[in-house]
Structure 1
């Protein structure tokens, strides 16, 4: 069972993340965001932030973050479909579901793959010496570790076969990998992304559905983006901090 993306977008457009979060947290405006005491860990100084522009929340203390659906899931201990149902009621949106079991299974597997890859590349950027140049590049442009964590930025290693080998090791089939949009059409084992800073593209459900990769050497275009796939349709704009790097 899968909730149509159009319904999730409708809920997200009708509700303000401020209105959702403020039912649980007292928020105070400061510096273009709202701030409050984090509901997910004990603290005396507010480190929990809400951005209306990005429709996201993030705690600089415990590093929990996401969109309004993630917030409701976390604070009410609900599954994602249950959190969508809860917010649909709040927004006055009539919810429908798609029952195509095979499509749903493939969709969930693809979301799992992208999330697993995002987490691995995020870990590499923060923890591996081979990514030191990428981390320095970001810091030189005023993008510190808190922002790296908030947006789950990552690093794709300087090995064009790394992503393929990594995903094969996680038991994904070569046939399934062909549908991901991550590989060259000429050589299905060569990734589009190598030696690049990786920016996850997040959909309204809080799921990673694509990547934008920023070049760190002279190989390939300055930016490479995941092409459209059965689960991802390209957005025409990038968030502010990516625009900063595009200068």
Structure 2
């Protein structure tokens, strides 16, 4: 018995040792690849070019200067050094490289700043082969993006969709705003979107996980959550689609389940990528204007936000009919402490 116990203990120690070696190897490989990603981005992007995409800069000798976007000031104390590829504000003492600037101004963590800058640089980020498999969130982001494109097409390709487009224009929305905010239409069909996504290799479980379909009761299969609705994609701070608000469009009687009373508006339920207490409609587009104006206008409905944006009020977001949460306020405080209701 003692011999078997010793062998079992030795086996466990060997397994633990192999696991530790793999962990160290993976961490080392990830570190090398991360450094390579950062180096490639810095080789492609110039600090002045990146920052001038967010703020107005002017030449000041060998450097550039601007009004700091992170605090209110009347004279420029924000300087950019092309030679050193860094920036520094002598007013609020913030500074760093392009990654630090994007983190600060976009209100994101380093991985998202890396992704934003990689996109600007036209670089495909490398990942270590041991962790390159898609995680659950990545699949939901893909499904949500494909659904948005599907709804956009339906708004102009189907008879009822074109009626919905006409309705939006009659409400006062201009074509460029409809396109910019990627409005779409969900057909009055039980499985139109589900079929589209399954044809592209996604399974029913993932489609349900994205909040776009509902499992049938008592029998196999799923049906589309959004039917005969004008679709408003909801974006995260990085502009990725995470969910939808669907407004019922009654050009034809909407298909409903037994006992269902179609609500005027329905939202995506909570998913791995969508939490209504953390997302405000339009914030991905409004955040820079909110910071520049040091004020956020909060409206209730998505249409209210779109009409305000169209009228030139760029620092507007909508709560999409949900109550304002402490998380909403915390996110807005990245950009301003002033909120107009």
Q: Give your verdict on TM over 0.5.
A: yes
**Which structure ranks higher in relative contact order (CA pairs < 8 Å, sequence separation ≥ 6)?**
1
Q: 1:189 aligns with which of 209, 222, 225?
A: 222
- Residues 185 and 127 (structure 1), Cα distance of their counterparts in 2 relative to 1, 3 Å cut: closer
In the alignment, structure 1 residue 242 sits paired with structure 2 residue 242: no
Cα distance between partner residues in 2 of 1:69 and 1:213: 32
Measured against aligned partners, the alpha-carbon deviations of 1:97-124 in whole angstroms (never above 9, x if no partner) come to: xxx9499522111111110110121122
Q: Measured at CA, do residues 151 and 174 of structure 1 come closer, stay the same or move farther in structure 2, by a change above 3 Å?
A: same
Residue 335 (structure 2) aligns with: none
Larger radius of gyration: 2
Match of 2:185 in 1: 155
Unaligned runs of 5+ in 2: 1-29, 31-49, 59-104, 107-112, 255-261, 283-298, 307-319, 322-341
Determine if the alignment matches structure 1 residue 221 to structure 2 residue 263.
yes
How far apart, in 1, do the equivalents of 2:114 and 2:177 lie? Answer: 21
Alignment match, 2:166: 136
Please report how far the alpha carbon of residue 177 of structure 1 lies from its aligned counterpart in structure 2 after TM superposition.
2.2
**TM-score with structure 2 length normalisation?**
0.44
2:213 aligns to what SS in structure 1? coil
CA distance in 2, matches of 1:103, 1:206: 23
TM-score, normalising length from structure 1?
A: 0.59
Q: Distance in 1 between matches of 2:139 and 2:167?
A: 33
Q: How does 1:60-79 map onto structure 2 within 5 Å?
A: 72-79=117-124
1-structure distance, mates of 2:51, 2:173: 25
Aligned equivalent of 2:13:
none
Distance 1:122 1:189 in 2: 22
| Unmatched runs of 5 consecutive residues or more in structure 1 | 2-16, 26-54, 57-67, 83-99
1:108–1:71 Cα change, 3 Å: closer
Aligned residue pairs, count: 178
Residue 126 of structure 1, CA deviation: 2.9
Indicate the structure with greater helix content: 2
Write out aligned runs for 1:11-160 (5 A): 20-22=53-55, 72-79=117-124, 101=131, 105-160=135-190
Secondary structure of 1:232's aligned partner: coil
RMSD of aligned alpha carbons: 3.9
